[in-house]
Amino acid sequence: WFLDPFASTIEIVIFCLVVLLIPTTLIGIGFPLASELTIEKLPTLGRRIGRLYAFNTLGGTLGSLATGFILLPLLGSQAGLTVVVVLNLLMFVLLVMSQPSLRIDRKLRRLGLEGVVVFGVGVWYLGPHYLADAQTKFEGGRVLAFQETRDATFVVMGYESEQDASYQQILVNGRSYANNAPPGRRYMATLAHLPALLHPAPRSVLIACVGTGTTVGALTLHPEIQSIKAVDLAQTVFDVAPLFEPLNHGFQRTPKVEKVVANARNYLLRNKE
């Protein structure tokens, strides 16, 4: 869908509807239902509603943190989303079963059954790798690496062409971050060689934004440079660096290269060097 803007819009809308419809519907049903169960006595109405809102806000905050920092890195987006939907369905079942007045409500039982059926059909129809496949749907290349992390979604693609031979590209959240095709590898290497050759006595270097590592690798070829700090926001950039060899000269294994996972601006502000 990255080649046709019109198709992209339609597919993304359908994609969001399929993925988000069930959990958002359950969340929308859950809070009013919890409010109705909470309001039993008018004299304590304010305190009960306030407590419910507090728990709801706390749950929303902790849920967002848990999803971004635990579920996505450990399980990936599809498995993580499946876990969230299952938890919502279990909570619905437990809530209904724990209240005698709700157990006899046929409408609620029908809604619960419909939710389970829709969820089961969705899981069966989409398959276990639907979201991963959707995020690696690029034309003309093969997927070399795919990682969903707490920072972003990373994809490394490999390409073969008569004009550029073989080269690789790293994409972050579906957008091109860098590639080592001939035009890119030339200017990336120049960014290293030019200042190193013009400086009268280069000793230490800092590179902000590693990308394919071509610039960092070019710096390792200068023996007078004793220390290179390669700074990038994401650890994944260093993890996939071997896929861009030999053009990056295996910089990640070079002793004089220090790999730093940080925001380069903040790192510079903290560093006196």
Q: What's the pLDDT score for residue 37?
A: 65
Long-range contacts of 237-243 (CB under 8 A, 24+ apart): 237/154, 237/170, 237/210, 237/211, 237/213, 238/210, 239/147, 240/144, 240/145, 240/147, 240/154, 240/156, 240/170, 241/210, 241/212, 241/213, 243/144, 243/145, 243/156, 243/158, 243/168
Label residues 23-38 b or e (16+ Cβ within 10 Å = b). beebeebeeebeeeeb
Q: pLDDT tens digit string along 139-160?
A: 778 889 898 888 888 999 988 8
Q: Is 0.85 surpassed by the pTM of this model? A: no
Strands 165-172 and 153-161: antiparallel
Q: How many residues does the chain have?
A: 273
Q: What's the pLDDT score for residue 2?
A: 40
Q: How many helices (H) and strands (E) would you count in the chain?
A: 10, 7
Share of the chain above pLDDT 70, in %: 91
> 164, 215, 163: which is closest to 187 by C-alpha?
215
Average pLDDT over residues 43-63: 79
The mean pLDDT value of the chain amounts to 84
Q: What's the pLDDT score for residue 40?
A: 59
Structure tokens belonging to residue 82: 């499946």
Share of the chain above pLDDT 90, in %: 31
Q: What's the pLDDT score for residue 3?
A: 41
| Residue 4: burial class (beta carbons within 10 Å; 0-12, 13-18, 19+) | exposed
Q: pLDDT tens digit string along 221-264?
A: 999 999 999 999 999 999 999 999 999 999 999 999 999 999 99
